[in-house]
């Protein structure tokens, strides 16, 4: 029998796990599952957004025109069976097939070697190098995720360790206080909206949520946990701070909205699948997705970035706004190579990237803000900069985004907007039975998610892919932040790579989106 002709999957190269202790090959009989992400059927969905004419795709119909081709699905199933793998899940709309088998069969199917590494007391299955598949199915495959289950992302929250609050300490805020400072619209609660929150660890306790919302005299929103790839609501670890921050900020801003928390493993497979399942969820139908996890762009394989970006493009096409934290480690995004980096998935052109400020309540309608930068005290700084992988989108071409300072690449600028993030002026939340003050750009993503839920209710329809619209709004729609830096980038008038367009003047944004203020049309996204 002639040898099988195989081709490598572009962008699948995986580097060794840094600072890990190799423990040898995985056992041949170990069960391994992988998500195979397929190409779209037909052309890419049009996402040229004009606020007057844009009509989002209907979720239930989207897969018919932009899901996986039935022939591609059949070919991947045949490939799986030929290599003694079972198809444990198939979703044409999401363009995914989950294949499961022994490590020996998986390795032969995808042309790789799996090994076991340990780091900080935890064990991970890893691989290095490229993946390959038979030439016959190669054109259909965008990515194969999950063979390597090392952690891919971290939560972007920062605790204030300088205080032990029994009540709100001076300088910190409850979400309703921030809603007032940022002039969020009144007499709306987010009713009729669902906010999806992506979590890659941790959990929440209903007793804490009841206590928290009761202390704010706010009706507790409807909250549900959704399991993805075996992820569970499992409180008891450090990541609880992220989960509770996200729920409590979004829920306190928009208590009338339902909140669905999608729990997934912290792997490239888990992260992708959580986003994709939230985007395509025809039962809960989220209109907004909040993401407070991420990692430097360079930490991802190209195939994983491509798959995640395609899922975010699906969200934009279906009128779902995705708010994403821009990172908490300044313009380097925590990388030690002496270069500047931005965080992904906030650098996706289909994400609303959320930067951070230090807020001082001046008692006036205009908040006093500067760039959040406590790097000198080892207490974090807002992420921001210019992507090395995603070209500048049309909606930013007139925003004054500079080229990447290291590569001169004309890339996507991060962030788009901002909000209070410095833990010294952070958010009062309740975590594992204790009141805490937490900041980080993690707090800004659910803050904006809550605002968008209010605006969706007020406007009578989802704002959807809002980025092009925001770049076309009057300057009065934002509180411009012009002081400070995040390392290599400085704040200044209008858009900058620390705080984007500025923090929200919520009511003004709503009025402009409704056409009650003079605004130039947003530029479409190519």
Q: Based on the fold, state whether residues 119 and 174 are members of the same structural domain.
A: no
Residue 413 has pLDDT above 80, yes or no: yes
Mean local confidence (pLDDT), 483-505: 97
In a domain, 173, yes or no: yes
Q: Based on the fold, state whether residues 161 and 136 are members of the same structural domain.
A: no
Mean local confidence (pLDDT), 109-129: 96
In a domain, 525, yes or no: no
Residue 12 has pLDDT above 60, yes or no: yes
Say which CATH number the domain at 443 has: 3.40.50.200
pTM: 0.95
- Please list the residues that pair with 19 across neighbouring strands: none
In a domain, 522, yes or no: no
Given this model, what pLDDT does residue 520 score? 33
**Boundary residue ending a domain (145, 165, 198):** 145
In a domain, 523, yes or no: no
Position with higher pLDDT, 2 vs 41: 41
Q: Measure the CA–CA gap between 410 and 28, rounded to whole angstroms.
A: 46
Q: Which domain holds residue 98?
A: 6-145
Contacts of 440 (CB under 8 A, 6+ apart): 155, 156, 157, 158, 245, 292, 325, 328, 356, 380, 421, 423, 426
Q: Based on the fold, state whether residues 453 and 306 are members of the same structural domain.
A: yes
Q: Are 88 and 71 in contact (CB under 8 A)?
A: no
Q: Measure the CA–CA gap between 521 and 526, rounded to whole angstroms.
A: 15
Residue 49 has pLDDT above 50, yes or no: no
Instruction: List phi, psi (to 5°) of 72.
Output: -65, -45
pLDDT band at 208 (very low <50, low <70, confident <90, very high): very high
In a domain, 520, yes or no: no
Q: Based on the fold, state whether residues 233 and 344 are members of the same structural domain.
A: yes
Q: Based on the fold, state whether residues 275 and 386 are members of the same structural domain.
A: yes
In a domain, 518, yes or no: no
Positions marked catalytic: 242, 246, 442
Instruction: List phi, psi (to 5°) of 111.
Output: 60, 50
Q: Based on the fold, state whether residues 385 and 458 are members of the same structural domain.
A: yes
Given this model, what pLDDT does residue 517 score? 40
Q: Based on the fold, state whether residues 134 and 224 are members of the same structural domain.
A: no
**Boundary residue ending a domain (83, 110, 145):** 145
Q: Measure the CA–CA gap between 81 and 439, rounded to whole angstroms.
A: 49
Mean local confidence (pLDDT), 129-148: 98
Instruction: Indicate the range of 25-39, 148-162, 270-284, 401-415 predicted with least confidence.
Output: 148-162
In a domain, 524, yes or no: no
pLDDT band at 164 (very low <50, low <70, confident <90, very high): low
C-alpha dihedral sign at 331, 334, 336, 341: negative
**Boundary residue ending a domain (145, 163, 196):** 145
Q: Are 85 and 100 in contact (CB under 8 A)?
A: yes
pLDDT band at 364 (very low <50, low <70, confident <90, very high): low
Q: Based on the fold, state whether residues 91 and 166 are members of the same structural domain.
A: no
Given this model, what pLDDT does residue 2 score? 53
CA 351 centroid distance within chain? 7
Q: Based on the fold, state whether residues 286 and 426 are members of the same structural domain.
A: yes
The Cβ of residue 452 has, within 10 Å, a number of other Cβ atoms equal to 30
In a domain, 526, yes or no: no
Mean local confidence (pLDDT), 496-524: 78
pLDDT band at 525 (very low <50, low <70, confident <90, very high): very low
Tokens of 310: 């395609």
Q: Based on the fold, state whether residues 123 and 98 are members of the same structural domain.
A: yes
**H or E stretch covering 198:** strand 194-199
Q: What is the mean pLDDT of the chain?
A: 93
Q: Are 442 and 297 in contact (CB under 8 A)?
A: no
Beta-sheet pairing, 288-291 with 321-325: parallel
Tokens of 509: 């944004």
Q: Based on the fold, state whether residues 139 and 172 are members of the same structural domain.
A: no
- Provide the number of structural domains found in the chain: 2
Given this model, what pLDDT does residue 179 score? 96
The Cβ of residue 264 has, within 10 Å, a number of other Cβ atoms equal to 26
Q: Based on the fold, state whether residues 274 and 379 are members of the same structural domain.
A: yes
């Amino acid at each position: 029998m002639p040898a099988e002709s195989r081709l490598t999957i572009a962008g699948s190269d995986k580097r060794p796990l840094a600072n890990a202790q190799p423990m040898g090959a995985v056992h041949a009989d170990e069960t391994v599952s992988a998500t195979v992400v397929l190409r779209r059927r037909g052309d890419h969905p049009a996402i040229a957004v004009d606020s007057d004419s844009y009509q989002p795709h209907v979720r239930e119909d989207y897969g018919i025109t932009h899901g996986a081709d039935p022939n591609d699905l059949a070919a991947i199933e045949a490939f799986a069976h030929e290599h003694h793998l079972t198809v444990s899940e198939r979703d044409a709309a999401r363009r995914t097939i989950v294949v499961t088998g022994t490590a020996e069969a998986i390795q032969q199917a995808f042309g790789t070697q799996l090994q076991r590494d340990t780091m900080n007391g935890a064990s991970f299955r890893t691989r290095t190098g490229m993946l390959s598949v038979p030439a016959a199915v190669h054109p259909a495959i965008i990515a194969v995720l999950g063979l390597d289950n090392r952690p891919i992302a971290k939560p972007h929250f920062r605790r204030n360790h300088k205080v032990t609050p029994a009540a709100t300490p001076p300088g910190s805020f409850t979400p309703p206080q921030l809603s007032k400072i940022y002039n969020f619209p009144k007499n709306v609660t987010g009713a009729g909206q669902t906010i999806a929150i992506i979590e890659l660890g941790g959990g929440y306790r209903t007793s804490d949520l009841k206590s928290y919302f009761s202390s704010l005299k706010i009706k507790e929103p409807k909250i549900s946990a959704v399991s993805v790839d075996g992820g569970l609501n499992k409180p008891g670890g450090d990541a609880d701070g992220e989960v509770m921050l996200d729920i409590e900020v979004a829920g306190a801003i928009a208590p009338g909205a339902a909140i669905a928390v999608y729990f997934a493993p912290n792997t490239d497979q888990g992260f992708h699948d959580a986003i994709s399942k939230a985007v395509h969820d025809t039962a809960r139908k989220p209109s907004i997705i909040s993401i407070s996890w991420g990692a430097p762009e360079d930490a991802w394989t190209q195939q994983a970035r491509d798959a995640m970006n395609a899922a975010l493009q699906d969200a934009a096409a279906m009128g779902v706004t995705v708010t994403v934290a821009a990172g908490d480690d300044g313009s380097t995004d925590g990388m030690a190579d002496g270069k500047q980096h931005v965080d992904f998935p906030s650098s996706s052109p289909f994400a609303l990237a959320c930067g951070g400020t230090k807020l001082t309540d001046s008692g006036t309608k205009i908040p006093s803000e500067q760039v959040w930068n406590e790097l000198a005290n080892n207490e974090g700084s807002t992420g921001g900069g210019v992507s090395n992988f995603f070209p500048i989108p049309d909606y930013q071409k007139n925003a004054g985004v500079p080229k990447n300072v290291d590569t001169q690449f004309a890339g996507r600028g991060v962030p788009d907007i901002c909000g209070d993030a410095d833990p010294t002026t952070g958010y009062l939340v309740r975590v594992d039975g204790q009141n805490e003050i937490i900041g980080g750009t993690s707090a800004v993503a659910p803050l904006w998610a809550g605002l968008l839920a209010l605006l969706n209710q007020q406007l009578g329809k989802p704002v959807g892919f809002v980025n092009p619209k925001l770049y076309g709004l009057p300057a009065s729609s934002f509180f411009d932040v012009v002081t400070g830096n995040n390392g290599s980038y400085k704040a200044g008038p209008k858009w900058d790579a620390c705080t984007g367009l500025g923090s929200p003047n919520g009511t003004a944004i709503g009025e402009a989106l409704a056409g009650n203020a003079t605004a130039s049309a947003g530029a479409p996204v190519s």
